[in-house]
Amino acid sequence: MPDVEYARLDAPATRAILKEIRPVYAAGFPGYSLDDWETRTTRQVGYPGFETITARDGDGSLIGFVYGFPLASSSWWEGLTPAPPPGYTDEDGTRTVAVIDLVVLPAFRSRGIGRRLVDLYLSDRAQRRATLTTSPAKPDIQRMYERWGWTQVGRVPGGPLATAEYYDVYVIDLGPAEPTSSR
């Protein structure tokens, strides 16, 4: 496999390449609304802690990305069924980081690039857990996340412009937020 270069981008750097991300997103999510993606992503890139990891082939072409942000409110979990235990959905930006979109161009799939993107995105996080949602109509994607250690915790309803009536919510433990000290 040719070399793949990965880069970590903050919000301003991500904003600068949204036009480059758009066709990669379209290839990864055929049939999804690009207008919805643009509106949603333009809003989300302004959230505190928004970050992107990109993958580029040897020619410098964008072949994949993952991005997300720490959850600063509990709105992510609205309508979660089954009902979680008390406190499970409490968010303040330090507990949970969300993976919003992960895309690898079809020609580059099954090479470990998606897994590496997610691993890089989640590395060195201050948050104790990560979450993402997937469409129930994509069982192959759900099985992939389960192989990577994610656990389904329930479902949430899709919004007005969503591509699905509801989404399955997955969580993975990232460990303690701060190293524990031994006394």
Per residue in 38-95, pLDDT (tens digit) is: 988 999 999 999 999 999 999 999 999 999 999 999 999 999 999 999 999 999 999 9
25 vs 30: CA distance, rounded Å? 8
**Cα pseudo-dihedral 111, 114, 115, 121, rounded to 10:** 150
- The DSSP 8-state label assigned to residue 109 in this structure reads -
pLDDT at 2: 59
Residue pointed to by tokens 């643009």: 38
Which residues touch 12 (CB under 8 Å, ≥6 apart)? Answer: none
Residue 45: phi, psi to the nearest 5? -60, -15
Residue 84 one-letter amino acid: P
Q: Report pLDDT digits (tens) over 81-115.
A: 999 999 999 999 999 999 999 999 999 999 999 99
SS3 state at 1: coil
Q: Whole-prediction pTM value?
A: 0.90
Name all domains of the chain by residue range, CATH numbers in brackets: 5-173 (3.40.630.30)
